[in-house]
Structure 1
Amino acid sequence: MSKPAPALSGPVPVDTAMPWALDVLRKEAAALAGLIADPPPALAGAIHRVAATDRPVLCCGAGKSGLVAAKTAATLASLGIPAFALSAGDAAHGDLGAVTPGSTLLLFSNSGNTAEILRIVPGLRARDCHLIALVGRADSPLGRAADTVVELRLAHEADHLGLAPTASTTLQMAVGDAIAVAASRLRGFSRADFLRSHPAGLLGQRALPVTAVMRRGAALPTVLAHMTLAEVASVMSSGLIGAACVVDWQGGLLGLIVDGDIRRAVQAQQDFHRVTAAAVMRESPVVVADTALLGEALDLMQHRDRGLLVLPVVDDADRLQGILHSVDLVPGR
């Protein structure tokens, strides 16, 4: 029978629990360091097998290892490799029918003797599946039954009893991540691919093309180089973004004028009916291509040396296509 949790009154002394917590971190770090120093020989084969499969990867485990399997499946899917978590218990009661013949499975079990997984191995074999076991012992029943055995050797768990899945699940999680990332890189999965897989929130917005958000047509304030500052100020006021693009007769971008340029002209007491846009415009402004994604535009605008509020969008001939304003890039707008 477990003891009741001790009652806490007032602040807990830092030195009471911190040594225990740091001991756990040291043990888990040591387990990872040992794995890095002597990596499992079969790890490379497991990565290539996952990268080469044309079917969803199935990740299976029980208990804490089942949670690791679910996380690994989510990481694989996030990095462009279709994957699903398969409950070992449910698979033995009908869900095995969801397994496509020829599938690749990642089977997580520290002991290599997990009854729920061993029970479904014959059914997976009947479906000609490739079994990759991530186990603590290669000579375990699961290790002997698998096609590829990634042995995650571990002397001790990290808890004070040496019983709770701690360091073992840390190794499983890390190796699951390693397989997912390396396999994704083998497939050539790119940043743009990653963003397209995350349609919600800021990540999803970064995956949009700039043309989906940029202001164009009547909402795009443009002036010609010979126009006076009085005319420029009028166009900028109607555009409501504090900027105007200076273009030639063919729509080529010549420069950019922002509110600050107009204020400086006022301070210099320039004649707004004689000074032209060409005299105050910023030549060669920072621009973004009309083939770019919003993520690229955000990076340009948020660069520490710039802090831009507006960004012209041009085609490959430097013709103005639109303009982005920082308010257009606010998530959820």
Structure 2
Amino acid sequence: MKLIKNIQSIAKEVIRQEAEALHTIIELIDDEFENCVYTILNSGGRVVISGIGKSAIVGQKIVATLNSTGTPALFMHAGDAIHGDLGMIQDNDVVLVISKSGDTPEIKVLVPLLKRTGVKMIAMVSNRDSYLAKNSDFILHAYAPREADPLNLAPTTSTSVTMALGDALAICLLEARGFTHDDFAKYHPGGALGKRLYLKVCDLYPHNALPSVTESATLQQVILEMTSKRLGATAVIKGENQMAGIITDGDLRRMLKEHEGESLLNLKASDIMTIAPVTVSPDEYAVNALEIMQSKSITQLIVVENNQVLGFVHLHDLLREGLV
């Protein structure tokens, strides 16, 4: 095995070249890019993406990004298209063909067949003078001056540029469609990401006990309530379950330190509680409750609606759901 002494330098140079290429294509975003966005929006159909080799792999990633951000898309391999897969193209679709050179044999076979369908065709290509570019309705110029490898052969810079351009297209379409947080949650219901998007406090707090005492509760009653409900805190209520405050383990420790050597028999919940504690609405997203806990360095929140104490949401709930 050959010993490479400059591995870090090689890695940094690859990333530098790819970063420079990405910076270059910023200046290539023009009216034609905008026309591509409007063509897809106004088509009423899907985006059919095709390519071969590494372009096919990048194309599949772009398809996934489009589908997850509200633009229906599917992948058609350029090699399979001439063996029946052209049948997937519908009259109102837009076809996006990805090829660095735009002159590979498979692309030259595919393009006339696509033109015969009558659908609009977009070329995502590095070479604007290529066969693909000259025979397409629109060009997304994925310019890559050279690849990052010493031989200038392995698809590296070109695939990074193509993927970035696909991301730009998908996000422009997302913005134009008014794609919302709720839409994103609908398309991503699984795993931790899905839970971050749709899980709310009201999905969590009903599973917890609701420790609560009145303002006149004795210290013993406070401790018994906190111990029996095992949340490390209790709400202090008044009237018809109206919130008055909160008592946490920390409040008890501070109280014991402040009254060290004194009799605690006459202490009431109102003497110990924290007035106007941090609370959360039942309709708040669970991930936002987590952010509140982290910013305040606390482990639980009282769930309150119209000043009515509904329950508690604890850091352990969020850990259990995989949000931390």
TM-score when scaled to structure 1? 0.85
Query: 1:245/1:41 Cα in 2 relative to 1: closer, same or farther (>3 Å)?
Result: same
Query: 1:108/1:196 Cα in 2 relative to 1: closer, same or farther (>3 Å)?
Result: same
Residue of structure 2 aligned with 1:189, choices 170, 179, 184: 179
Residue of structure 1 aligned with 2:203, choices 184, 208, 212: 212
Equivalent in the alignment of 1:319: 308
One-letter code aligned to 1:97: G
* Aligned pairs (5 A) from 1:170-249: 170-206=160-196, 207-215=198-206, 219-249=209-239
Q: What secondary structure, in the 3-state scheme, does the structure 1 residue paired with 2:311 have?
A: strand
Maintained 8 Å contact 1:59/1:69? yes
Is residue 319 of structure 2 the alignment partner of residue 330 of structure 1?
A: yes
Runs in 1 of length 4+ with deviation above 6 angstroms?
none
* Aligned pairs (5 A) from 1:127-142: 127-142=117-132
Task: Give, in angstroms, the shift of residue 200 of structure 1.
Answer: 3.0
Segments of 5+ residues of structure 2 without an aligned counterpart are none
Query: 1:249/1:91 Cα in 2 relative to 1: closer, same or farther (>3 Å)?
Result: farther
Q: How far apart are the structure 1 equivalents of 2:278 and 2:39?
A: 45
Maintained 8 Å contact 1:290/1:314? yes
Equivalent in the alignment of 2:99: 109
Is residue 20 of structure 2 the alignment partner of residue 42 of structure 1?
A: no
Residue of structure 2 aligned with 1:80, choices 60, 63, 70: 70
Equivalent in the alignment of 2:58: 68
Equivalent in the alignment of 1:299: 291
Deviates more, 1:257-266 or 1:320-329: 257-266
One-letter code aligned to 1:330: L
Maintained 8 Å contact 1:73/1:83? yes
Residue of structure 1 aligned with 2:85, choices 89, 95, 108: 95
Residue of structure 1 aligned with 2:17, choices 22, 27, 49: 27
Residues 171-207 of structure 1 show CA distances to partners (whole Å, capped at 9, x for unaligned) of 1111111111222223233445434433333222222
Query: 1:330/1:145 Cα in 2 relative to 1: closer, same or farther (>3 Å)?
Result: same
Segments of 5+ residues of structure 1 without an aligned counterpart are 1-6
Q: What secondary structure, in the 3-state scheme, does the structure 1 residue paired with 2:144 have?
A: coil
Residue of structure 2 aligned with 1:286, choices 249, 274, 278: 278
Is residue 243 of structure 2 the alignment partner of residue 253 of structure 1?
A: yes
Is residue 153 of structure 2 the alignment partner of residue 160 of structure 1?
A: no
Maintained 8 Å contact 2:28/2:141? no
Residues 234-265 of structure 1 show CA distances to partners (whole Å, capped at 9, x for unaligned) of 11111111111122222222211111112223
Q: How far apart are the structure 2 equivalents of 1:322 and 1:49?
A: 51
Maintained 8 Å contact 1:201/1:331? no
Q: How far apart are the structure 1 equivalents of 2:143 and 2:241?
A: 66
Deviates more, 1:92-101 or 1:250-259: 92-101
Q: Name the count of aligned residue pairs.
A: 319
Q: How far apart are the structure 1 equivalents of 2:43 and 2:242?
A: 48
Q: How far apart are the structure 2 equivalents of 1:265 and 1:302?
A: 24
The structure with the greater share of residues assigned to helix is: 2
One-letter code aligned to 1:209: K
Query: 1:18/1:324 Cα in 2 relative to 1: closer, same or farther (>3 Å)?
Result: closer
Q: What secondary structure, in the 3-state scheme, does the structure 2 residue paired with 1:311 have?
A: strand
One-letter code aligned to 1:329: L
One-letter code aligned to 1:62: I
Query: 1:282/1:81 Cα in 2 relative to 1: closer, same or farther (>3 Å)?
Result: farther
Computed over aligned residues only, the root mean square deviation of the Cα atoms, in angstroms, reads: 2.6
Maintained 8 Å contact 1:133/1:143? yes
Q: How far apart are the structure 2 equivalents of 1:128 and 1:276?
A: 81
Residues 146-173 of structure 1 show CA distances to partners (whole Å, capped at 9, x for unaligned) of 2221122333333222233222222111
